[in-house]
Amino acid sequence: MSAERYGELVALLRADNSDPAARLRRVCGLCVEVCAVTGGAITVQGGDDGTAQAVACATDAISLVLDNLQRTVGEGPGPAAHERGGPALVGDLATAEARWPGFTPGARAAGVAAVFSFPLRLGAVRLGTLDLYRTSVGSLNRGELRDALALADIAAHTVLDDLRSPDPMDIGWLSDIHAVVHQATGVVTAQLDVTMRDALLLIRAHAYAHQTPLDQVSQQIISKRLRLETGE
**Segment 115-164, tens digit of pLDDT:** 999 999 888 778 899 999 999 999 999 999 999 999 999 999 888 776 65
Q: How far apart are CA 162 and CA 167, in angstroms?
A: 8
What is the per-residue pLDDT for 49?
46
Write the burial class of residue 25 (CB in 10 Å: 0-12 exposed, 13-18 middle, 19+ buried): middle
Q: How far apart are CA 200 and CA 204, in angstroms?
A: 6
Where is mean pLDDT largest: 19-28, 55-64, 163-172, 206-215? Answer: 55-64
Query: Which long-range contacts link 96-102 to residues 24+ away (Cβ below 8 Å)?
Result: 100/73, 100/75, 100/76, 102/72, 102/73, 102/74, 102/75, 102/208
Sheet holding 114-122, edge to edge: 52-58, 39-46, 125-134, 114-122, 88-90
Q: How far apart are CA 55 and CA 34, in angstroms?
A: 22
Mean pLDDT across the chain:
85
**Segment 61-108, tens digit of pLDDT:** 999 999 989 988 889 999 999 999 999 999 999 999 999 999 999 999
Where is mean pLDDT largest: 13-22, 31-40, 41-50, 213-222? Answer: 31-40
What is the per-residue pLDDT for 17?
60
Q: How far apart are CA 214 and CA 229, in angstroms?
A: 17
What is the per-residue pLDDT for 42?
94
Report phi then psi at 133, rounded to 5: -145, 160
Q: Which residues pair with residue 126 across a beta bridge? A: 121
What is the per-residue pLDDT for 21?
82
**Neighbour count for residue 141 (Cβ, 10 Å):** 10
Residue 111, SS3 per DSSP: coil
Q: How remote is the C-alpha of 195 from its chain's centroid?
A: 23
Q: How many CA atoms lie within 13 A of 32 on its CB side?
A: 15
Write the burial class of residue 207 (CB in 10 Å: 0-12 exposed, 13-18 middle, 19+ buried): buried
Q: How far apart are CA 190 and CA 168, in angstroms?
A: 32
Write the burial class of residue 163 (CB in 10 Å: 0-12 exposed, 13-18 middle, 19+ buried): middle
What average pLDDT score do residues 39-54 get?
A: 71
What is the per-residue pLDDT for 116?
98
In eight-state DSSP terms, residue 112 is: -
